[in-house]
Amino acid sequence: MNSTHLSQLSNLEPINERAVKVRDTIQGCEPSVLADIYREDTNIVVWQRSLGETLVSDVDDFLASNPHFQASMTVTPQSALYSINECLMDPAQGQLSENITELVEMFCCLFELKRVGLRLSTLDRAMCPKFHVDRVPCRLVTTFQGVATEWLPHQAVNRQKLGLGSQGKTDSQSGLYKHSHDIQQLHSGDVALLKGELWEGNENAGLVHRSPALSEGQRRLLLTLDFSS
């Protein structure tokens, strides 16, 4: 290589790793789609599921009776059903307990975990109203009732505007995204795996997401599952 070529190379800007990473969304109607979270080119996988009428009715009743419910626990696939039943303290919520237990079992199987951190919350306001990324390997989220989690496709995000980079401005003012139609949203019942910043090889590509705004009188029942040491 001659001196001219060396000079040209030295003038090139360094490759920006954040710019070249590609992360897509994968969605499907079967629970087997969740295994696609292991694909390097994705940071959100959505199992698009519909909840049965009986479960929806039970959840409605639970929200009406427990407007401020908050529960956090560590469970194993073997202990989950008992722990959840004890926490809900309502024999009529057997379907909800069983449904959550199935998700615990799936999450543990998928990631070869012995236990998970479980949070179940009744919410009447946005828990995390600004777009952000989670410093976790991966998180499962599902909204049993009410409006569900919002997220931004990786290629639509100016990640320099996250956190302090927003300079105190709202998400719509900061330049985090260009168009309001860039914002995507899960549906009630959907089960999503959100890949975070601590997933190996996913630095600067964790899914950017936020809690949805709720109108007066609206409530949602949110479940999250996390890795537990």
pLDDT tens per residue, range 18-37: 456 889 999 999 999 999 99
CATH of the domain at 112: 2.60.120
DSSP string for 119-143 = EEEEESS-SS-S-B--SSSEEEEEE
Rg over alpha carbons for the chain, rounded to the nearest Å, is 20
Is 13 domain-assigned? no
Among 212, 208, 171, residue whose Cα is nearest residue 21: 208
65 and 145 in contact (C-beta within 8 Å)? no
Is 61 domain-assigned? yes
Is 4 domain-assigned? no
Is 140 domain-assigned? yes
Is 66 domain-assigned? yes
Measured between alpha carbons, how far is 98 from 23 in angstroms, rounded to an integer?
33
Measured between alpha carbons, how far is 66 from 38 in angstroms, rounded to an integer?
37
In the predicted structure, residue 63 carries a pLDDT above the cut 80? yes
What local confidence, expressed as pLDDT, does residue 46 receive? 98
Q: What is the pLDDT of residues 169-216, one digit of tens each?
A: 999 999 999 999 999 999 999 999 999 999 999 999 999 999 998 888
Is 86 domain-assigned? yes
Residue range of the domain that includes 74: 19-227
Is 71 domain-assigned? yes
Domain count, the chain: 1
**Model confidence pTM above 0.85:** yes
Least confident of 44-48, 141-145, 218-222: 218-222
Identify the DSSP state of 92: G
Is 28 domain-assigned? yes
